[in-house]
């Protein structure tokens, strides 16, 4: 993953492309899309030798297979690792692992926080929209498995965001700082 972030630094819009790549990795984790290999990402070549990341395609979830015990826990993992210690298994991945990956890639922390926050905020509505637009006859067990698991993983994000907010409040709730921040 770090190599791809590095490669995208040379794109025509590196911040956008790196953000989209990061968002894709978070989405793959939420959706249990286990086939997000580097070969599944493409770039548009533009005149003059530039390039941009293409939109995502061919994203499939393995959640329903895992839920039906058709996939072993050891195989239920992302294609690319996240975190300092290279986490692959979906069950062991936490939001902080995406932050660690982005830090290793030299991405701005605010960019990562914003991407995670936006995804967590928009996920419930996105799931509802997708579920409403599925064709008649789409297997309900697949739909429900993906939606339920994605929302459960989202809870890890919201818990991490709340914990981070609490840490900021604690930081400013010290005698030294509260005296400095007193407005009279």
Please say if 35 is a catalytic residue.
Answer: yes
Give me the sign of the Cα torsion angle 114, 116, 121, 126: positive
Catalytic residue among 12, 35, 113, 144: 35
Provide the token pair at 50: 């530039």
Asked whether the CA dihedral 95, 100, 101, 106 is positive or negative, the reply is: positive
For the chain, give percent helix, strand, coil, nearest 5.
60, 10, 30
Residue 31: CB atoms within 10 A of its CB come to 22
Distance in angstroms (rounded) separating the CA atoms of residues 133 and 131 = 5
Catalytic residue numbers read 35
């Amino acid at each position: 993953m770090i190599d791809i972030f590095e490669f995208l630094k040379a794109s025509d819009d590196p911040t956008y492309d790196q953000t989209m790549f990061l968002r894709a990795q978070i989405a793959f984790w939420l959706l249990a899309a286990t086939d997000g290999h580097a070969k599944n990402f493409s770039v548009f070549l533009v005149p003059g030798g530039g390039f941009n990341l293409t939109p995502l395609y061919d994203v499939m979830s393995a959640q329903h297979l895992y839920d039906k015990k058709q996939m072993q826990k050891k195989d239920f993992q992302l294609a690319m690792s996240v975190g300092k210690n290279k986490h692959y298994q979906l069950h062991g991945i936490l939001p902080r692992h995406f932050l660690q990956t982005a830090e290793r890639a030299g991405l701005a922390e605010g960019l990562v926080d914003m991407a995670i926050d936006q995804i967590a905020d928009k996920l419930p509505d996105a799931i509802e929209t997708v579920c409403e637009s599925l064709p008649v006859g789409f297997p309900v067990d697949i739909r429900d498995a993906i939606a339920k698991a994605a929302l459960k993983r989202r809870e890890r994000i919201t818990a991490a965001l709340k914990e981070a907010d609490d840490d900021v409040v604690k930081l400013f709730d010290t005698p030294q700082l509260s005296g400095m921040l007193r407005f009279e």
